[in-house]
Structure 1
Amino acid sequence: MARSKEYDENEVLQKAMQLFWEQGYEKTSMSDLVEHMGIHRRSIYDTFSDKHTLFLKALNRYGEIMGKDLERRIKQAESAAQALRFIFEFTIDKNENTPLGCLFVTAAVELATYDADADSLATKGFANEEQLLTDIIQWGQHGGEFASDCDAKELAESLQNTLLGLRVMSRTSISKEKLYRIANVSLKILEK
């Protein structure tokens, strides 16, 4: 007879995601995961197969959570410009309960050159955000908020690049004031 799990799989996956986000894949050992997740090593293997599979599931979870949070913020926006501001503020200010930076960026920098699965998930995460930016820019162009002389997709690619740079820089001691200056200059490309 199979034993029932004595833990919530979603809860322990959330804990693993947080740890990978804070430390990265390579630096996070199985011992770290056992301690942080609060379950036995055997339970990690039984539920998630191995560290790599656990990391990929954590990346998926990260994408789901960040996507839902951004969508919620954007729905609250009264204009396309405000929606973009929300995204940049979210990138720079973050929440005190989440690590700095971006798990997709960490996966891309650490693993993408030799791990096709991590590369695929990080690239998909970047593409999803870029599509979101494209949609917001089109909203602003159709509503007359933004200049229409440039292609929305190309503008989104540029803003996405800025956001990725800000996510890396936010992990350093660079001031938020500087990060906001960078964001403000980048958003000027949309002005009429």
Structure 2
Amino acid sequence: MGRNKEFEEDEVLKKAMELFWLQGYEKTSMSDLVEHMGIHRKSLYDTFGDKHSLYLKAIDCYSLNTSEALNCVISQAKTAREGIKNIFSLMIDGTEEHPCGCFIVNAVTEMAMRDKEVDEKAEEALAQSERLMGELIRKGQKDGEFSCSLSADSLAEILHSTLLGVRVYARTSGSREKLHGLADNFLLLLKGNH
């Protein structure tokens, strides 16, 4: 009879995700992972496979957490405008569970050009985020909050690209006021010519 696992799989996967997010794929060794995750090397291999398989699972974990965080922020907003403002705040200021920066951006810049699986997972995650932005903008257009003549899909592309840039900039010691100003300017763009 096999031994029961002495750890919660989702919890240790989140720890792996955090370490990959912080250090990147190449700089993270199996020893780093074993120590940070708090499990035995054999348990790591038995549960998650090799380092690359664990990395792919960490991307999935991040994508799910990000979608949940965005959906939560959107659902708590009374208006689409407030939803977009809240998303910018999340990306600029982060939270304890969702620090500044973006694991997907890190994965793209480090791995996507040479790793088809990482590229596909990153592309899927980015497309999902952009779809959420499109839904939010369509709601704002339907409710009369946004009158910009661009289509919801075009505005979602611009918003998503802007948010990716914000997430990169937020990792620096740069001005948070500048980023919040960018958010305000984007919301003015959405209002159109008044």
Which bin holds the TM-score, normalised by the shorter protein? over 0.9
Amino acid across the alignment from 1:88: F
Amino acid across the alignment from 1:13: L
Provide structure 2 residue ranges, at least 5 long, that are not aligned to the other structure: none
> In the aligned structure 2, how far is the partner of 1:14 from the partner of 1:148?
40
Are 1:41 and 2:38 an aligned pair?
no
TM-score (norm 2): 0.94
Contact 2:148 2:191 in 1 (8 A): no
Alignment of 1:173-192 (within 5 A): 173-192=173-192
Amino acid across the alignment from 1:61: C
> In the aligned structure 2, how far is the partner of 1:110 from the partner of 1:88?
24
Query: Match for residue 54 of structure 2?
Result: 54
Contact 2:148 2:189 in 1 (8 A): no
TM-score (norm 1): 0.95
Query: Match for residue 87 of structure 1?
Result: 87
> In the aligned structure 2, how far is the partner of 1:41 from the partner of 1:104?
26
> In the aligned structure 2, how far is the partner of 1:183 from the partner of 1:26?
33
Please tell me the root mean square deviation across aligned C-alpha atoms, in Å: 1.2
Amino acid across the alignment from 1:57: K
Provide structure 1 residue ranges, at least 5 long, that are not aligned to the other structure: none
- Displacement of 1:184 in angstroms is 2.0
> In the aligned structure 1, how far is the partner of 2:38 from the partner of 2:164?
32
**Distance change in 2, residues 1:10/1:132 (3 Å):** same
> In the aligned structure 1, how far is the partner of 2:112 from the partner of 2:167?
17
Are 1:147 and 2:147 an aligned pair?
yes
Are 1:100 and 2:100 an aligned pair?
yes
Moved over 4 A (4+): none
- Displacement of 1:86 in angstroms is 1.0
